[in-house]
Amino acid sequence: MPAMRLAALFLTTLAMSGLAFAGEAGGSVAADAAGLDEATAMRNSTQAVGGLVGDYPLLDREGRPMGFSRYRGKPVLVSFIFTKCPQTCPVTTRNLSRAVRALQEAFGADSFAVLSVGFDTGSDTPEAMRSFARRQGVALPNWEFASGDAASIAAFARATGFSYSVSPAGYDHISQLTIVDADGRVYQQLYGDDFELRALGDPLKRLLGRDPAHYPLWQGIGRRIRLYCTTFDTSTGRYRTDYSFFVSMLISAAMILPFGYWLTRELRRVWGTAGREV
């Protein structure tokens, strides 16, 4: 489907839901700044899909340098926030935390990463990002809160299709979660401040099933089996892992192999006897 048709579809859906864009007070506000153009923001977001995200210099919440390339080899969920946001960003982060916790339990805590990026570069220092994470109760593994200089954050935002603008009310920004694949390319965009578990989990499962070659052989096989056996349970609204298929295969093999051994031995005996009679 062409990008313009996708943008039109998203705009129609989001106009109905009212979840795609947020206007929040906070940061250094220019009183005469233009607000965010929603059509342009959605177009930038959809057109970013498939693009490569560069290795932009960032700082983790402890102030240590890091680059986005650290996430090569596994999917990463990228969420842009600003720490002075009074409502949308905290709610989005807490909702994402609940979804991530469930997905880490289903797929493994180290199977994917999460990166929250502060786009208000005047206020979103490592200390502010650390405090924001603590206030939202985020203490999950493989989740970092990063900040950076204005040029790096602007370039990072463009690469992921995230749009924001100062406005008389504070900041207008698209409510977007970007899924980046193991090769560093934008795979999918999700919108809104809440996350239906399957809408986030199914794209992750597809990405994780592509090629876990960066794991040792047996660990990679184990992860494939676990992923294959993990399905979404509509009755509970959560993912569950059911190994019954592989257990039944092992039981069947345990029954078939002795029979196969006996059959082979008997055939050899019969053929041997027939050969001697000839």
The tens digit of pLDDT for each residue in 27-73 reads 433 323 457 889 999 999 999 999 999 999 999 999 999 999 999 99
- Check residue 259 and give its pLDDT: 63
Share of residues in the chain with pLDDT > 90 (%): 53
- DSSP 8-class letter at 52: B
Identify the CATH homologous superfamily for domain 3-240. Glutaredoxin (3.40.30.10)
- The pTM assigned to this predicted structure is 0.73
Going by C-alpha positions, the residue among 190, 198, 196, 220 that lies closest to residue 208 is 220
* Percentages of the chain per state (helix, strand, coil), in multiples of 5: 45, 20, 35
Domain spans, the chain:
3-240, 243-278
